[in-house]
Structure 1
Amino acid sequence: MSLHGFFQNAYVTHDLDRAIDLCAGTTGIGDFAAADFELQLRTPSGDRPIQLRVATAWIGALQIELIQPVAGHVDPYVGGLPADTGDFTPRFHHVAVRRDDPEALADEIARMGLPIVFETGGSGISSTFVDAGKRMGHPIEFVCANPDGWAMLGWPNSN
């Protein structure tokens, strides 16, 4: 397992809009791009739908991702959230690393022997979310994309 290509810290929240305001006000992180997503997660127990609200912002080469689980198979995201749904403070959730070769990534994941939580993809981007809790204390998201996908993610110098 290598964290080579690390580019993202991701956080979960009960309220995306308030979390964006909090981050902008306390850390100076601004220019979050927010969107609503409906995805199909390929899980070990079959395909599962999920709805998420997501916002991302870049600070140099680091992307900050804020995630609000909304509906569907939200289990991979809600474990770190407080029981108080009024508490919108972002909670650390996972890191993401970049990979450019899907076949090499599949081999890397097989060698790691870590459980796959889900896989998803579309628009030139695919991701595999693995449970690295027993090794790292948190999940890792491996992201592969074609040049258009990286540009859509706002990857620095992708244009």
Structure 2
Amino acid sequence: MLEGLHYQNAYVCDELEAGIDLFRGRGLEKDPVIIPVDQTVVTPGGPKRQKGRICFIWIGDLQYELIENEIDEVGLYANCLSNGGPLRFHHICFRVPDWADFRSRVDAQEFPVAMERGLSAEAEGGLKFLYLDAREVFGHYIEYTWMPEPMWQHIRAM
């Protein structure tokens, strides 16, 4: 399952500021906003907590997401093994135009859902995402997102 607009490559790093520094002089034009994240996601094993800090760096039409993990009850980021450098490639992300249509086909495709957010009533009209575990085929996870257009424009402006 590969569909939608590929707009992001994501990396796990031990120190977010050190990761950001690696982009200075390589296309980073302004300091990114660091966003604290503390959320509960749905997994095959039930609800799990994810806590950390992230930032988004846009270079052209590609967004680089840097993730500093603090609490990873899912184990999704902790299993991203060191490559000897400060950034470890983790996943790519696609934006899909119709979440209900996309989600209706997820269970019929080959990759298992690793985690998901956006199933509850309070998430209606807000950001929805899920990660598929595509490591056996592609060597990484694939994230899919849906968000309202104003939220997308806000993220593009960051």
Question: TM-score scaled to structure 1, two decimals?
Answer: 0.85
1:28 paired residue number: 27
Gaps of 5+ in 1: none
Q: Quote the Cα distance in structure 2 between the aligned partners of 1:120 and 1:155.
A: 23
2:101 paired residue number: 104
Q: Which amino acid is the alignment partner of residue 91 of structure 1?
A: R
Question: TM-score scaled to structure 2, two decimals?
Answer: 0.86
Is this contact kept in 2: 1:14–1:81, CA < 8 A? no
Match of 1:154 among 147, 153, 156: 156
Match of 2:88 among 56, 72, 91: 91
1:70 paired residue number: 70
Q: Quote the Cα distance in structure 2 between the aligned partners of 1:14 and 1:88.
A: 10
Do residues 118 (structure 1) and 115 (structure 2) align?
A: yes
Q: Aligned residues: percent identity?
A: 29
1:42 paired residue number: 42
Gaps of 5+ in 2: none
Q: Which amino acid is the alignment partner of residue 82 of structure 2?
A: P
Equivalenced residues, count: 152
Give, in angstroms, the shift of residue 75 of structure 1.
0.9
Q: Mark the CA change 1:133 to 1:91 in structure 2 (over 3 Å): closer, same or farther.
A: same
Q: Quote the Cα distance in structure 1 between the aligned partners of 2:43 and 2:9.
A: 23
Is this contact kept in 1: 2:55–2:65, CA < 8 A? yes
2:147 paired residue number: 145
CA RMSD of aligned residues (A): 2.2
Q: Flag the structure with higher helix content.
A: 1
